[in-house]
Amino acid sequence: MATKDILETISVNIDRKLQNKISENSKDNEKRYEYEEILNLIGFGSTQWIVLFTCGLLLMMVINETMGMSILTIASQCDFETNSVQKAILSAACFIGILLSSYFWGYLSDTVGRRLILIYASLTGNVFSIVSMFIPSFWAFVATRFLVGIFIAGASSTTYAYLGEFFIARHRPVVINYASMFVGISMAYVPAVAWLVLSMDWTLHITDDFDFRPWRILILFNLLPGFIASLVLTQLPESPKMLLALSKEEEALNAINWICRRNTGRPLSDLKVFHLKTESQPIQENVLIISKSALTAFKKMWRETKPLFKRPHVLNFIISCVVMCGVFLSSTGMGLWYPEIQNRVGGTNEELTVCKVIDASIEKKSRIGNETLCDDTINTKSYIDSITYGLTYVAGYIILGIIINPIGRKGVMIGALCLSGLCGIALNWLVQPISIVVVFCLFLMLPGLCISVLSGAVVDLVPTHLRGKAVCICLMLGRSGSVIGSNIIGALLESYCDLTFSLFTGCVLLCAALTLVLPI
């Protein structure tokens, strides 16, 4: 009897354990996981590295296509017979295209998906870039470069969003900083490739009005990183977080399963993940697609954006936009002219200040007159200085990654902008070529580093549902600073060099003062 009772007890216990196991499996099958929980389970792996590299190439393409014009304006000046004002227009064309279209690409990426926008916008921009290689007319070339800007704005406004959504929160700031290093790599890549290509001396006579010269091949090298990135993107999944925001749970699960297999070699089911939590506030329908009227679409977009211009966000947001405009004006607006200025400085053996060299080159040109042949050569020193400028950016991003947490965003920005202002003042009296290069690089690079820092700050200054729009608008207004800065230099540099540098120095110091007000 005792034995029978023991056997019955054992049987009951086994049944209970089996039922508990079945119950636990059932609960595991029904449990819904947060997206970041699953990323933690999967871990950092090959997918993240591929996405980081791909997004870095996209950022390279944007910088190549915009800042690359600083080399092309010099190399094409004889073919197009351009003056300083026309060079400024050509340099600004791509920026204007990005400025006018960034918000729409950002809006589409929030409602259609990141990956498709990145692929189609980048490839279309590449097509227009290739077309521009064969255009003989200056104004038609400017118009085509403007169209390039319209489409590469898709990569410019969407890349960081796509990149960030493949990483957990604690990895995101570091990863974005590493992606930003590709900006510096691009700054070195453009002059290095130009040095190689423009050292060739040949001309293909196509028509009476059109000779194909080596500088046009530079356009192909500038778009190459974006083309490679677009091909890689065709093999990558859409951002799972974006799919969840669009209430596409099954597609999101497939995308995460793709990540899991690449990182761990196992399917997601091995981690007991079968269901995901969708976004609490799914994205609404795309107003640009469903609206029958353009006016209705604009009204809807304005209603969604208007909270940024009301309390409690309006003051911080407007100050952020002004500072962003100022740092773009100083770093990119002047940066577009850096090779041109250094090309003139490198063309003299005398120890003179930057402005005295520019004045001397103008006097020499007017003394010789218009009978001389056009000279579009770029001296070796200018290439080396431009490569140094790019490498300075890379070093700057490495240092920024180390100091930003201990010092904080505000401390880093104020310190960088004040040091840049001191460098701008020093350029008025420095005459040693090496010291001019070092100080000039710092003058341009330090405000440039503040762009990524301020973008991250804007994200934290506004609520989640406004962040994408806030960053997009802030960067749009920032790029308007690039256009303004480039045209100020084109109009004033040769006639009022000292005043031009003083304006840019004053702008940097004003941005430092405004940063004091921001709660970052």
Q: pLDDT tens across 495-507, in order?
A: 888 898 999 999 9
Question: What pLDDT was estimated at residue 503?
Answer: 93
Contacts of 303-307 spanning 24+ positions with Cβ under 8 A: 304/469, 305/466, 305/469, 305/473, 307/466
The DSSP symbol for 311 reads: T
Question: What pLDDT was estimated at residue 505?
Answer: 94
> What b-and-e string marks burial along 108-127, b requiring 16 or more CB atoms within 10 Å of the CB?
bbbbbbbbebbbebbbbbbe
> What b-and-e string marks burial along 269-278, b requiring 16 or more CB atoms within 10 Å of the CB?
eebebeebeb
Question: What pLDDT was estimated at residue 110?
Answer: 75
Radius of gyration of the chain (CA): 27
Question: What pLDDT was estimated at residue 25?
Answer: 47
The DSSP symbol for 167 reads: S
Q: What's the whole-model pTM score?
A: 0.81
Rounded Cα distance between 286 and 107, Å, is 8
Question: What pLDDT was estimated at residue 138?
Answer: 93
Structure tokens belonging to residue 41: 């389970």
Q: All domains of the chain, ordered by start, with CATH?
A: 31-289 (1.20.1250.20), 291-520 (1.20.1250.20)
3-class secondary-structure state, position 205? strand
Rounded Cα distance between 176 and 164, Å, is 7
Rounded Cα distance between 37 and 73, Å, is 50
Question: What pLDDT was estimated at residue 145?
Answer: 95
Q: Which residues of the chain have pLDDT under 50?
A: 1, 22-28, 287-291
